[in-house]
Amino acid sequence: MDFQTTYILEDYILNTKWNDFPQEVKERAIVCGIDLMMALIIGSKGKQYKSGVALAKSLYKEGQVPVIGSKDTFSFAGSAMAMGHAANSFDIDDGHNMIKGHPGASIVSGILAAALANNISYKEFLTTLIVSYETAIRSGLAIQDHYNYLHSTGAYGAVGTSAGVARIFQLNKEQLNNALSIADFHAPLTPVMRAVEYPSMNKDGVAFGTLIGVIAVLETIAGVTGKTHLLELEKYRFLLDTLGKNYEVMNLYFKPYTCCRWAHPPIEASLYLINKYNIDINKIQEVKVYTFTSATRLSKMIPRLTDEAQYNISFPLAAAIVDGDLGFEQVIEGNLNRKEVIDIMNKINYIVDDKIEARFPAERLCEVEFVLEDGASYRSGAFSPNGEAKDNVDLDWVTKKLKKRTKGIMSEEAQDELLRILTDVDNSTVRQVVDYINNN
């Protein structure tokens, strides 16, 4: 392989300023900041986060760096580890269709911990977040092409995390190149389709991607040397030539429901049918889901744990049909064994549709057909999930999402004040954001 170190990526990561971004990218940065803080807030209520905190206490306790959702403080690495177990814990974070994963969750914890350790402004945090998104997504495209395998979120998350952390720690371009090379080399395999079929806290490997990205920077500071990352290959030069011109962050999707994105289209289609035709769900005899192959590989088990409920297609769909929504409350332990939901699960059948399959992964489409006990049949037509890039998710959209999804966690007044802080780019600090969340 012919690697060439040009420092194109490194110069972009280190030298980009807030005012270099077009207005739409600045607005998207604020949307991402709100969405990711919301994911961390919800994630801090789950078992995976508690396990991450316990692990951080045993390995990285000494330090004054806080985490969202705890009164404890840790070293920088400990803070990143703890929050790395929260960011994707309830599968409510952003994604990118072409890398089939979650770039925001994969980078936010390491960058947030570094920002807290260095007490930087919220504007600098958002700037770092954007350059890390651009790095992570391009890295994902290169990794998946080079290895011809679906290395999911943790793999490119390691590279994106190292980019943002190195910027905040003010490494020079040679050191940054070294950190990116270490992160790229040690990035976790994350065989995500295994987790799709056999769901667990492994999920997309977010926590390990965070940890590898952090360690790559710390190893660089300690003097460990690394050489070459995939974006230095000539065949991927085209991905770097668009830096600062085409923003992959504008191609993100955002998730209204706490489950795998592949389950969102049938949820949207089913709720549409129920509302349009005033369907009595107790009269449903069969639910036919016409979708793409990857979606049919999602688990259909009756879940015992929240991860089994999220990385699932039948449970989220059935719960949404019963409740008219799919949020934190539906997928948390204690609400997973409801008879009415299980009854609907047993009525769902899946059919791979060749036309829908041909449009994946650029589009995730689905049709749903309800067959009622009296023989009546209602078919939805093709549905895509809400929050796609084409939907131009804006501040209003993400504000409504935060208020809906944190309703049982924060008061309305606390939500409003948090949103004020998260939109006051010129005056807020990262510490202010985290302190407010933890005190409310």
CATH of the domain at 237: 1.10.4100.10
Cα distances (Å, whole numbers) of residue 218 to 76, 104, 166, 189, 225: 10, 21, 9, 21, 11
Q: Are residues 87 and 158 in the same domain?
A: yes
Whether 349 is covered by a domain: the verdict is yes
| Boundary of a domain, candidates 379, 395, 429 | 379
Please tell me the predicted confidence (pLDDT) of residue 188: 94
The count of domains in the chain is 2
CA angle 53–54–58, rounded 5-degree value: 115
Q: Residue 362 sits in a domain of what CATH number?
A: 3.30.1330.120
* Torsional sign, CA 190, 194, 200, 204: positive
pLDDT of residue 297: 92
pLDDT digits (tens, 9 = 90+) for 307-329: 999 999 999 999 999 999 999 99
Residue 393 is predicted with a pLDDT of 97
From the CA atom positions of the chain, what is the Rg in Å?
Answer: 21
What is the separation, in whole angstroms, between the first and last Cα of the chain? 53
Q: Are residues 347 and 269 in the same domain?
A: yes
pLDDT of residue 195: 85
> Is 251 among the domain residues?
yes
In a domain, 384, yes or no: no
Half-sphere exposure of 150 (CA within 13 A, CB side): 15
Query: Is residue 135 located within the same domain as residue 178?
Result: yes
**Does the structure show a pLDDT above 90 at 12?**
yes
Tell me the CA distances in angstroms from 359 to 230, 238, 363, 387, one per residue in order: 28, 24, 6, 18
Per-residue pLDDT tens over the stretch 34-89: 999 999 999 999 999 999 999 999 988 889 999 999 999 999 999 999 999 999 99
- Whole-number Å distance between alpha carbons of 361 and 347: 27
Residue 73 is assigned to a structural domain of this protein = yes
User: Residue 381 — left, alpha, or beta (φ > 0 → left; ψ -120 to 50 → alpha)?
Assistant: left
CA–CA gap between residue 413 and residue 400 (Å, rounded): 14
Residue 1 lies in a domain: no
Residue-level pLDDT at 150: 86
Percentage of the residues of the chain whose pLDDT score is greater than 70: 100
266 plus 216 within the same structural domain: no
Cα 263 vs. chain centroid, distance in angstroms?
15
Average pLDDT over residues 14-30: 98
Mean pLDDT value across residues 425-429: 97
Establish whether the linkage from the previous residue to 191 is cis, with ω within 30° of 0. Answer: no
pLDDT tens by residue, 114-162:
999 999 999 999 999 999 999 999 999 999 999 998 888 999 999 999 9
Same domain, 238 and 136: yes
- What backbone phi and psi angles, to 5 degrees, belong to 50? -60, -40
* Percent share of the chain, pLDDT over 90: 94
Q: What is the 3-state secondary structure (H, E, C) of the chain?
A: CCECCCCHHHHHHHHCCHHHCCHHHHHHHHHHHHHHHHHHHHHCCCHHHHHHHHHHHHHCCCCCEECCCCCCEECHHHHHHHHHCCCCCCCCCCEEHHHCECHHHHHHHHHHHHHHHHCCEHHHHHHHHHHHHHHHHHHHHHHHHHHCCCECHHHHHHHHHHHHHHHHCCCCHHHHHHHHHHHHHHCCCCEHHHHHHCCCCCCCCHHHHHHHHHHHHHHHHHCCCCCCCHHHEHHHHHHHHCCCCCCHHHHEECCCCCCCHHHHHHHHHHHHHHHHHCCCHHHEEEEEEEECHHHHCCECCCCCCHHHHHCECHHHHHHHHHHCCCCHHHHCCCCCCCHHHHHHHCCEEEEECHHHHHCCCCCCCEEEEEEECCCCEEECCCECCCCCHHHCCCHHHHHHHHHHHCCCCCCHHHHHHHHHHHHCCCCCEHHHHHHHHHHC
| Same domain for 329 and 208 | no
Note whether 206 and 86 are within 8 A (CB).
no
Q: Is residue 398 part of a domain?
A: no
Task: Name the pairing type of β-strands 377-379 and 252-253.
Answer: unpaired
Regarding whether 241 and 306 lie in a shared domain, the answer is: no
Say if 61 falls within a structural domain.
yes
Same domain, 205 and 351: no
**What domain range is 319 assigned to?**
261-379
Q: Please check whether residues 73 and 167 belong to one and the same domain.
A: yes
Q: What tokens does 273 get?
A: 């049918």
Q: What is the pLDDT of residues 158-211, one digit of tens each?
A: 999 999 999 999 999 999 999 999 999 999 999 988 988 898 899 899 999 999
**Contact criterion met (CB below 8 Å) for 269 and 380:** yes
Would you state the pLDDT for residue 227? Answer: 95
pTM score, two decimals?
Answer: 0.96
Q: How confident is the model at residue 262 (pLDDT cuts 50, 70, 90)?
A: very high
Go through the chain and tell me how many residues it has. 440
The verdict on 111 and 233 lying in the same domain is: yes
Same domain, 140 and 168: yes
Task: Say if residues 268 and 277 touch (Cβ distance below 8 Å).
Answer: no
Whether 192 is covered by a domain: the verdict is yes
On average, the pLDDT of the chain sits at 96
In degrees, to the nearest 5, what angle opens at C-alpha 175 toward C-alphas 190 and 218? 55
Same-domain status, 66 and 196:
yes
Q: Using alpha carbons, list the distances in angstroms from residue 131 to 17, 114, 160, 281.
A: 10, 15, 8, 46
Measured CA to CA, the distance from residue 282 to residue 262 in angstroms comes to: 25
